[in-house]
């Protein structure tokens, strides 16, 4: 007998996380999330998202076997900021079965409708500040750090449930060579021009990390405020993320643009820790996963350019180009094999054009879906 039940206990949350490992057990491109990180993210009182918004997890069973999962998400900050009544879904995983998918979305939709939502959008885990989107093309390689991965049939399941495309988001690939050096060759002249305007670009100071992070949050919440689906991060949310980032941060790839002591731009690339996580069975750090993580980080030879933004009044001044040039130089110095720039909205012409000009190749496409309820 098939059924869908709410999941809220510690045991339920553990089963919710582990279902993904079982579903992808034979997929060589699947990268398990760290169990402890997923557990804290999904547990009220552990992650700051739960301080302002509501989440309900659901598990689908066929007899005693779990065959699907979904999270219904009411992101109250998103709705207030954007003046909408959206509901979201996330953490969707399912066997290739239309009935199971329908049952999961029926429960998630009913829960959201009861909360006053008039649409269901996703996947987002929990918002566009975290992993989001269904992988549409690019299933032939593992995801890089903090990017999603899913079975190729997911988009068909959603199409059959009458979901519509809301927007596509792109990931660009750079190889060891082949990128356009023009921006690097112009870096000195651009840096001088910025300096004449009182603007400097420098690595973040890890010794003064908390104060730097607070200034970066201001840039983040300002520079990305017109992105589709954007919601400002609270101080607690940003501090939570920054604490995790600090553990893997390489300051050669974490840059700020500053004028008169004020941060006006920020760029961040992180090591592709998925090279290590893919080897950690079921995301467990104990007993041997911790050693794999610590020693594996030293061998990582790829990065993900995760964030690059400038507040509006300083855009097109050359700051973005200097960020790219600095990251390319650090990438080259470390003799890395690849970089991914992600994610970029398909209609963000300025950013897409900038990446294509340095020969970034779009190689993965993700989709966010929506449906009225």
Give the residue from 262, 258, 271, 268 showing the smallest Cα distance to 323: 268
Tokens of residue 178, six digits: 């082949």
Task: Please write the tens of the pLDDT for every residue from 301-319.
Answer: 999 999 888 888 888 888 9
Round the average pLDDT of the chain to a whole number and report it: 91
- Characterize the bridge pairing of strands 119-122 and 2-7: unpaired
Q: Say what the pTM is.
A: 0.92
φ, ψ of residue 106 to 5 degrees: the values are -60, -45
- Return d(Cα 113, Cα 86) in angstroms, integer: 10
Burial class for 122, CB neighbours closer than 10 Å (0-12, 13-18, 19+): buried
Q: Which neighbouring-strand residues pair with 303?
A: 271, 339
Predicted pLDDT at 221? 85
Q: What is the mean pLDDT of residues 90-107?
A: 98
Domain span(s) for CATH 3.40.630.30 in the chain = 2-170, 182-364
What CATH class is the domain 2-170?
A: alpha beta
Is the Cβ–Cβ distance between 339 and 303 less than 8 Å?
Answer: yes
| Rg, Å, the chain Cα set | 21
Beta strands at 54-62 and 2-7: parallel, antiparallel or unpaired: antiparallel
Q: Phi first, then psi: give them for residue 55, nearest 5 degrees.
A: -135, 135
More confident residue, 37 or 182: 37
In angstroms, rounded to a whole number, what is the distance separating the alpha carbons of residues 130 and 53?
15
Give residue-wise pLDDT tens across range 21-31: 999 999 999 99
**Does 292 score more than 80 pLDDT?**
no
Cα–Cα nearest to 141, from 35, 34, 31: 31
CATH number assigned to the domain covering 182-364: 3.40.630.30
146-170 per-position pLDDT tens digit: 999 999 999 999 999 999 999 999 9
Let me know: does 213 contact 166? Beta carbons within 8 Å: no
Q: Could you tell me the sign of the dihedral formed by the alpha carbons of 214, 220, 221, 222, in that order?
A: positive
């Amino acid at each position: 007998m098939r059924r869908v039940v709410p999941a809220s206990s510690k045991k339920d949350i553990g089963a919710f996380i582990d279902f993904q490992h079982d579903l992808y057990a034979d997929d060589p491109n699947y990268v398990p999330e760290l169990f402890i990180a997923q557990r804290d993210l999904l547990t009220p009182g552990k992650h700051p998202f739960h301080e302002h918004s509501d989440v309900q997890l659901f598990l689908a069973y066929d007899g005693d076997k779990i065959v699907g999962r979904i999270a219904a998400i009411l992101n109250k900050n998103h709705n207030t900021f954007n003046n909408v009544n959206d509901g979201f879904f996330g953490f969707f995983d399912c066997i290739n079965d239309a009935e199971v998918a329908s049952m999961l979305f029926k429960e998630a939709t009913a829960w959201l409708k009861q909360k006053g939502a008039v649409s269901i959008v996703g996947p987002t885990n929990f918002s566009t500040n975290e992993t989001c989107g269904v992988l549409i093309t690019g299933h032939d390689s593992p995801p890089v750090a903090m990017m999603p991965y899913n079975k190729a049939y997911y988009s068909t399941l959603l199409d059959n449930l009458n979901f519509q495309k809301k927007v596509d988001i792109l990931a660009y690939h750079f190889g060891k060579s082949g990128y356009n050096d023009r921006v690097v060759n112009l870096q000195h002249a651009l840096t001088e021009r910025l300096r004449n305007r009182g603007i400097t670009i420098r690595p973040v100071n890890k010794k003064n990390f908390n104060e730097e992070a607070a200034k970066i949050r201001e840039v983040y919440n300002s520079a990305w405020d017109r992105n589709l689906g954007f919601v400002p991060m609270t101080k607690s949310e940003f501090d939570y993320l920054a604490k995790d980032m600090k553990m893997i941060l390489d300051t050669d790839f974490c840059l700020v643009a500053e004028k008169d002591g004020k941060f006006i731009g920020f760029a961040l690339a992180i090591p592709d820790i998925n090279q290590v996580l893919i080897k950690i069975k079921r995301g467990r750090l104990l007993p041997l996963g911790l050693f794999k993580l610590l020693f594996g980080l030293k061998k990582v030879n790829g990065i993900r350019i995760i964030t690059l933004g400038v507040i509006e009044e300083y855009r097109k001044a050359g700051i973005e180009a200097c960020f790219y040039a600095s990251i390319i130089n650090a990438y080259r110095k470390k003799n890395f094999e690849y970089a991914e720039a992600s994610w970029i909205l398909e209609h963000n012409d300025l950013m897409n054009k900038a990446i294509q000009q340095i020969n970034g190749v779009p190689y993965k496409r993700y989709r966010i879906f929506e449906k009225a309820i």
